[in-house]
Amino acid sequence: MAGRAGTGAGADAGAGADERYKGILREHTNSERLQFFSDAVFAIALTLLVLEIAVPEIEHPTNLELNDSLLQLIPKFYAYVLSFGVIAINWAGHHRKFAVTKDYDGGTIWIDLLLLFLVAFLPFPTALFSDYPGYETPVILYSLVVASISLVQYWLWAYAYRRGFLDERIDLSIYRMVRARLLVVPIVFLLSIPIALLPFDEAPYFAMYFWIIIWPANIVTERVTGGRAAARFL
């Protein structure tokens, strides 16, 4: 019996320590820690956004002076609301993905970490964007970061589907429907970059106005991909 046990151990060892370790990890996968960590990063990023809005410091202000100071904060409030919405929508999408993800591996972790890296970085282009409204560089940087967040979400979804980590009820039509909806935001924000580079002073503002297209584009995409015929359109 001892000889047989030794033989079995030798066979296992022949598989390689790395492969055996990965096999043990796959037997004990639990995405709760990954989700909790991700939720914490999303929450911290949301909190950091509001720190850019400082209360005006005016000695003995009149109502007019205080109101003028608050009006000057409008770009910061706009940037805060916009980025809060971006992070909130991405958190909701992240939550939905993991609600139907039944397994994961090291690749999933690294893709998720890249997503969290971009989310945690978003307060910086938000601050730049709010401090220098109307300049092309902040608009371009903000567009690149927001588009990158959505593209990594797309990558996370595609990776989980290809690896067979999703709920078995997620068929090809559902996968393609979600994939198409994930492309709306990056397409709109990336298209806004050449608009911001147009040779006139108001071009960055036009690029910002272009972001509004996201809402009708999402509605159209949801209607096109929402039915049984989604696979024929994608």
Tokens of 214: 């996201």
Is the Cα dihedral 118, 89, 184, 234 positive or negative?
positive
- One-letter amino acid at 172 equals L
Tokens of 134: 């109307």
User: pTM of the entire structure?
Assistant: 0.80
Extended strands (E) in 87-172: none
Contacts of 135 (CB under 8 A, 6+ apart): 204
Angle ∠(136,142,144) on CA atoms, nearest 5: 100
182: nearest Cα among 234, 116, 114, 122: 234
Query: What span, in angstroms and rounded, lies between the C-alpha atoms of 160 and 141?
Result: 29
For each of the chain's 234 residues, which pLDDT tens digit applies?
Answer: 444 444 444 445 556 776 765 665 555 556 777 888 898 999 999 998 888 777 777 777 788 877 788 888 788 888 899 899 999 999 999 998 888 888 888 899 999 999 999 999 999 999 998 888 889 999 999 999 999 999 999 999 999 999 999 888 888 988 998 999 999 999 999 999 999 999 998 999 999 889 989 888 888 888 887 754 344 433
Interhelix angle 106-121/74-99, rounded to 10 degrees, is: 170
Tokens of 160: 């989980």
- Sketch the domain layout of the chain as residue ranges: 51-233
